[in-house]
Structure 1
């Protein structure tokens, strides 16, 4: 029998400036490789990885301001956001459920609305690129089951006024959901009000495989309520465990183990140091682009958006820089842990050469 190996190599991160994923921490890689064949979707059979999942949920609770939380490690922010909508729809007894989200909400909410057959009401942002509270209030009614806010938007890194959104949700007896998939690992080191300790948040998304530096897939769905997890649960008659609250069945033990390993290593001091470095780099890049005459959106988290011409954008991509645009057409740079000052200096040098 001839053994064949895969000879191709994965793409490196040397010129990736647009991704919200990054190189996994070395300890995350090691842990993931040891748990490749385990399935936390059947926790009674795979007891070791089940214990690790309980640990990572508890640790994510510490990150998000409440150690006593329920939840699980999901495939990513999309699954967690869908689960938030699903829980809200099933928990509330209304005929025509609707979900209210700000304009910069992740596209996973559109998927959720389609799959779950709920009305999605999208409201505008303020000039500061955060949810317009008055517009959210006008969009809610007795059939609203969920009001969602974003803590670290994917285009500009903005944080919505979560306590005010939670008050609006409570006024119509709806759930409050916070999508902190990207920003959740840096926000503890800011002055923003965004988590369970800051507002009456029912569900929250936070992804260890983004700024947490865990291996993919390792998203996170959290709630303070056992009732919400029970709402999501279905019977699993052929498994050793009797019920399952997750959206997918079989899940990656690799993601769970990697998240535990990196949280043990980096929370909180390692993440604080990385945030300070990345924020400094984002501010440096914003100043560098502004000094060259580009219109720059002031970064509030380590994400920089700037207006550049289509010609320059395409020439940069042809040089191998992996870039993306916002919905308004700005160049969008995400200062992830692999995006070093040296890399940004090289990027700016390329801009100077191509202008």
Structure 2
């Protein structure tokens, strides 16, 4: 039986994953059989994971990147769940809540359900960012964690992270920043989002998204080792005696791919990609506006625009992989594989369908 070929990225406009960097692909293949879940046995990949955490911490401006705590997770969902779990475990109360804007990634809803935590979502403002007054009204003495998003999945918005940190810490809570998608774009903007910009306690950043690592390859970082200590369980039958990760066995491919991609691209390669994506997003927004579409002005490079159901389905029938926001707009995520050439082809098909 012939092995099928993987799907081409040529017409994929909605995904936050992309083609891995060639160096990441090669490194992942070399470490496919290693298990960073047992660092006592698999010492080479354990050392590599320390390098990965240090590199991710450098991107996220951790005050001591070489001493940062964290690990390479399966993705943003796992990292966000672990951030909630760590905050819950560190809070003195048994029944706690988490406060997050309604724009928070659906993984936080999963985390709240799995961990039996009360999730309090609050409205966003007119620009799709967390409403600070609503956050402040929602926190109380049982709040373990406030979540801010640095690169929302629908509109690419960045919440006011320093202000969320102040609210969280004033309430005795911790601050988690979900920069799963935005983390490799934000260093080249003027947004405040990182460990250096705000009192961030934990942060999600995914090398398998704009970092151009391989799937799976997420990242969880912590300012204080206590955040990881709160996750640790004993592992008496392994060579290593405790484990803070969610999955036991993990793929060394994600670890190796993350290191290879970041070492190949940081910072200049990522800067070039971020600037190109921003320019293409602005260009597409202008082209769509000129055609009479209502467009949500891009910040980080996601373009959302109103589109009829019939046009949306016709584009999908032509092979364009599109998705919608919760409000119904089509969204185009400007990942490295989305080129100006592919956007021109998209507009050509859009014009043909409209006529």
Give yes or no for TM over 0.5.
yes
Alignment of 1:1-355 (within 5 A): 6-66=2-62, 67=65, 68-355=67-354
Note the C-alpha offset of 1:96: 1.9
- Mapped to 1, the partners of 2:217 and 2:53 lie a distance apart of 11
- Mapped to 2, the partners of 1:283 and 1:17 lie a distance apart of 15
What is the CA deviation profile of residues 190-224 of structure 1, one whole-angstrom value per residue up to 9, with x for unaligned ones? Answer: 00000100111100000000000000000000001
What is the CA deviation profile of residues 93-123 of structure 1, one whole-angstrom value per residue up to 9, with x for unaligned ones? Answer: 1132000000100001111110100100000
- Mapped to 1, the partners of 2:95 and 2:258 lie a distance apart of 38
Note the C-alpha offset of 1:71: 0.2
- Mapped to 2, the partners of 1:178 and 1:95 lie a distance apart of 23
Write out the 4+ residue segments of structure 1 that deviate beyond 6 Å after TM superposition. none
SS of the residue corresponding to residue 270 of structure 1 reads helix
Distance 1:94 1:351, change over 3 A: same
- Mapped to 2, the partners of 1:266 and 1:251 lie a distance apart of 25
- TM-score (structure 1 length as normaliser): 0.98
- The count of corresponding residues between Structure 1 and Structure 2 is 351
- Mapped to 1, the partners of 2:272 and 2:93 lie a distance apart of 46
- Mapped to 1, the partners of 2:324 and 2:127 lie a distance apart of 19
- Mapped to 2, the partners of 1:164 and 1:6 lie a distance apart of 55
- Mapped to 2, the partners of 1:34 and 1:59 lie a distance apart of 20
CA RMSD of aligned residues (A): 0.7
- Mapped to 1, the partners of 2:141 and 2:8 lie a distance apart of 50
- Mapped to 2, the partners of 1:33 and 1:96 lie a distance apart of 44
What is the CA deviation profile of residues 62-104 of structure 1, one whole-angstrom value per residue up to 9, with x for unaligned ones? Answer: 1001114110000000000000000000001113200000010
- Mapped to 2, the partners of 1:215 and 1:292 lie a distance apart of 37
- TM-score (structure 2 length as normaliser): 0.98
What is the CA deviation profile of residues 311-342 of structure 1, one whole-angstrom value per residue up to 9, with x for unaligned ones? Answer: 10000000000000000000000000000000
Note the C-alpha offset of 1:180: 0.1
What is the CA deviation profile of residues 112-153 of structure 1, one whole-angstrom value per residue up to 9, with x for unaligned ones? Answer: 110100100000000011000000000000000000000000
Note the C-alpha offset of 1:6: 4.8
Stretches of structure 2 that go unaligned for 5 or more consecutive residues are none
